């Protein structure tokens, strides 16, 4: 709490007291006492003032794309009865976002406020916590100081790197009678379907009075819900099959590819599901939730995809399945068990696409991805080998471009 200058003043006060006693000079006693009192008052003022400083942090936006900046505003308020001295404010920010933002404020009057701002950049995907802010308060003489952590923590989510994949998505074969797209009957919807008998709980506004009069009982209009395309995304994040580290690693390539495909399918109204190797269930999720999960995804330690692929099995009419994979070890020596399991799990899906990340671009990668792509292609999959560092759009067009839908198409 006492600074080096304050410690020097105390040592000087003690020396002045001893010298006054040795020489018998009363003025030295007064000087020593004054130095002690000044130091004590400085300590008391710093202690009381620092305890009444509050802080609020605003982050805009709270979710940013990779490489995009976010603005942070830190507001300080002095709730104490005394004005503060010099303030050094340091906000705790992960080094991947910013390099320790720090500010010097001349002080806050009683009830005064001050705001400082800085910019952080999303240089790496993830969910980050900002704060708390460390405020170091010094008295005007620099004899005492106190450091406190103030304010709550704030959250920032940095999405994976996204790439624009064009203006279309793969068209799945239409399901249902007579080539019609599959529809689900509901009590309300966009298109009229049929007439049925009224049941308790039905909206009275749906009553079809001519039919009710003809049949002598209440009849209601039945509507059908428009077809909603479904897409399931499988992202292989197992550390055992990926190579490299950091932003240029193959696992980051796979996550970035999955995020880009998710953004494209969500833009075209697909009902999305995301499956990672460690998942225990497969449920639909909003596009923002899927992006949040991909932002936080860590390399999985599971040796096999069998657990995750079991969730894909038995889903007849499952729509579109997109798997972003890395070839397992020994992929070039016969058909790997993971490949066989993937072939079995994908049988219930209308369209199956595999984007295989070429780990051969990294040392000690083993066999290339071509063998895995050939095995899946023989099983009815559309496959492409994607090399890290190359545009994903080109790879995606090779498996989806020939059947791409125009924007807003059916």
* Residue 240 in domain: yes
| 361-377 tens-digit pLDDT | 554 444 568 888 999 99
User: Is 338 domain-assigned?
Assistant: yes
Residue 171 included in any domain: no
Q: How many domains does the chain have?
A: 4
Question: Do 127 and 187 fall within a single domain?
Answer: no
Residue 176: inside a domain? no
CA angle 96, 102, 106 (to 5 degrees): 170
For residues 388 and 350, is the Cβ–Cβ distance under 8 A?
Answer: no
Task: Pick the range with the lowest mean pLDDT from 184-198, 215-229, 316-330, 339-353.
Answer: 184-198
Same domain assignment for residues 77 and 137: yes
User: Are the C-beta atoms of 318 and 289 separated by less than 8 Å?
Assistant: no
What are 155-181's pLDDT values in tens digits? 999 999 999 887 667 765 544 333 334
Task: Based on the fold, state whether residues 198 and 316 are members of the same structural domain.
Answer: no
Domain containing 314 — which CATH number? 3.40.50
> pLDDT by residue (tens digit) across 317-370?
568 999 999 988 765 556 788 889 999 999 888 899 999 999 875 544 445 688
Mean pLDDT of 141-161: 91
Per the DSSP assignment, residues forming a β-bridge with 88 are 104, 136
**Widest CA span in the chain:** 123
pLDDT tens for 106-120 read: 888 888 999 999 999
Do residue 252 and residue 383 come from a single domain? yes
Instruction: Report the distance separating Cα 372 and Cα 39, nearest Å.
Output: 75
Same-domain check for residues 120 and 260: no
Same domain flag for 121 and 16: no
Q: Which pLDDT value is given to residue 401?
A: 61
Work out whether strand 126-130 and strand 87-91 pair parallel, antiparallel, or are unpaired: unpaired
* 168 belongs to a structural domain: no
Contacts of 255 (CB under 8 A, 6+ apart): 125, 160, 235, 237, 294, 297
Q: What range does the domain containing 73 cover?
A: 53-158
Are 261 and 323 contained in the same domain? yes
Does 102 lie in the same domain as 35?
Answer: no
57 and 46, same structural domain? Answer: no
Q: Say yes or no: 243 and 343 in one domain.
A: yes
pLDDT tier, 231 (very low <50, low <70, confident <90, very high otherwise):
very high
**280 and 395 co-located in one domain:** yes
Residue 167 resides in a domain: no
Q: Are residues 133 and 278 in the same domain?
A: no
**Bridge-partner residues for 386, per DSSP?**
357
């Amino acid at each position: 709490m006492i600074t080096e200058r304050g410690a020097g003043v105390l040592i000087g006060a003690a020396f002045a007291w001893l010298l006054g006693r040795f020489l018998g000079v009363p003025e030295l006693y007064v000087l020593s006492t004054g130095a002690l009192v000044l130091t004590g008052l400085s300590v008391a003022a710093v202690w009381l003032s620092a305890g009444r400083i509050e802080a609020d942090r605003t982050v805009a936006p709270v979710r940013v794309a990779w490489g995009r900046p976010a603005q942070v505003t830190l507001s300080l308020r002095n709730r104490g009865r005394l004005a503060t001295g010099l303030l050094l404010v340091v906000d705790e920010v992960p080094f991947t976002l910013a390099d320790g933002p720090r500010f010097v404020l001349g002080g806050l009057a009683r009830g005064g406020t001050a705001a400082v701002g800085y910019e952080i950049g999303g240089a790496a995907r993830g969910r980050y916590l900002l704060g708390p802010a460390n405020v170091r308060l010094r008295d005007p003489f620099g004899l005492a100081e106190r450091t406190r952590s103030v304010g709550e923590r704030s959250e920032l989510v940095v999405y994976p790197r996204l790439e624009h994949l064009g203006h279309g998505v793969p068209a799945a074969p239409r399901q249902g009678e007579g080539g019609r797209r599959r529809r689900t009957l509901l009590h309300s919807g966009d298109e009229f379907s049929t007439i049925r008998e009224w049941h308790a709980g039905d909206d009275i506004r749906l009553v079809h009075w001519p039919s009710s009069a003809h049949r002598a009982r209440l009849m209601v209009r039945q509507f059908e819900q428009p077809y909603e395309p479904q897409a399931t995304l499988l992202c292989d994040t197992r550390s055992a099959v990926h190579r490299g580290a950091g932003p240029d690693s193959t696992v980051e390539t796979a996550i970035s590819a999955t995020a880009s495909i998710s953004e494209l399918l969500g833009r075209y109204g697909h009902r999305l599901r995301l499956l990672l190797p460690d998942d225990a269930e497969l449920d639909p999720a909003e596009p923002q939730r899927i992006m949040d999960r991909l932002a936080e995804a860590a390399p999985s330690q599971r040796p096999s995809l069998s657990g995750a692929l079991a969730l894909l099995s038995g889903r007849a009419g499952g729509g579109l399945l997109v798997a972003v994979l890395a070839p397992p070890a020994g992929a070039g020596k016969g058909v790997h068990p993971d490949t066989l399991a993937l072939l079995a799990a994908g049988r219930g899906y209308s369209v199956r696409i595999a984007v295989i990340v070429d780990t051969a671009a990294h040392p000690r990668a083993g066999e290339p991805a071509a063998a895995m792509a050939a095995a899946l292609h023989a099983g009815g999959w559309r496959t492409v080998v994607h090399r890290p560092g190359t545009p994903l759009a080109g790879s995606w067009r090779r498996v989806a471009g020939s059947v791409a839908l125009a924007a807003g198409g059916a």
